Amino acid sequence: MLELSETQEMIRATVREFAEKEVAPKAAEIDRTQRFPVETFRRMAELGLLAIPLPEEYGGAGADYLSYVLAMEELARVCASTALTLAAHYSLGTWPIYGFGSEATKRRYIPDLAGGRKIGAYGLTEPNAGSDAGGTRTTAIRKGDRYILNGSKTFITNGTYADSFVVSAKSDPSAQGSRGISAFVLEKGWKGFTVQKGKEKLGMRGSDWAELYFQDVEVPVENRLAPEHQGFQVFMKTLDAGRISIGALGVGIAQGALEAATAHARERKAFGQPIGSFQAVGNMIADMATEVRAARLLVYSAAKLKDEGKPHTAEGAMAKLFSSEVAMRATHSAIQVYGGYGFVNEYPVERFYRDAKLCEIGEGTSEIQRIVIARHVLGRFEEGG
């Protein structure tokens, strides 16, 4: 296992204590009621968890990306909804501003996001542009010192409660594919910008989502991230790192499922002995433990590459792909270990199972991750070449 520094161990211990004492007790309740726990978000802000890798001058903790990954894992171990809220806020709603915004834009938005005074979100997916992000139909036509945005976004995590949004739009409608896209920071309350709360969902029910609608929304030029028409790189680089955090989300869910299944296998008796003593159950626990360890190493390795400033596109995709599928297998096995008890919401494993599915979809489906990895290994094949 990758050796952690004293600071990393301290961050992990702090988040674990917070997760067990304050997040876990309400995990079932927010799942059942589909309540977004604003109070938990505020507590994460107080603990300095909202921008762990950002410099202190912007209100961050000045730690590394691996420390953020550790925090994600510990939160997901007890409540994946809370972990997803953090991932959307930092990886998607805050980091792009730091990575691509002007100094003035950073100073305007990041301190409030890092301090929890504002919540961040990210608008890439549209009704007809999900995996094909180049199919963006939202437009941003420049008129003087403003862009006029028209279009919509869907499946926006934190959307109902967010104050600022990093959004993609076609600034050159004549450009083909991913060309001609720009990235912008929008604020809730701007004229023509409306938010509609999302419908009931399978899992991550304590995490909010919404649909965004833009009707002649005026966006100042200074709110553009990166040069005009070069916004696609903003979203791709954001996803490169964001996929590592979703990998950590999967590891945390799988670890929670493993711990629950292990405890039940020790306590539950059948035919006069703990069910864990039976080979069929023992084999499931062994497979879960092995895969969780492997997934964790993939995630930590990808995070370390990012911290070292090395390419990590393929490694992040591998970490997300493997971890999300491990989470699905681990939660499935946990329900099998629990038997009928695993099928009712009195125990957490059915929630883990429902939550895990999002990891195979969000920030690029498993199928997209395989495309990214294959292109890295094989190279990009040009048509007819």
Q: Which residues are catalytic?
A: 363
Rounded to whole angstroms, the Cα distance separating 229 from 81 reads 34
As a 3-state breakdown, the chain gives helix, strand, coil percent values, each rounded to 5, of 55, 15, 30
Q: What is the DSSP letter of 94?
A: T
Q: Give the strand pairing for 181-187 and 224-225.
A: antiparallel
CA dihedral 101, 102, 105, 107 (to 10 degrees): 110
Q: In which residue are the tokens 């989470």 written?
A: 327
Please give, one letter per residue, the 3-state secondary structure of 308-325. CCCCCHHHHHHHHHHHHH
Is 52 strand, coil or helix? coil
Rounded to whole angstroms, the Cα distance separating 63 from 362 reads 26
Q: Are 225 and 185 in contact (CB under 8 A)?
A: yes
Residues 6+ apart with CB under 8 A from 346: none
Q: Which amino acid is at 324?
A: S
Rounded to whole angstroms, the Cα distance separating 305 from 269 reads 45
In 275-365, alpha helices (H): 279-307, 313-338, 349-359
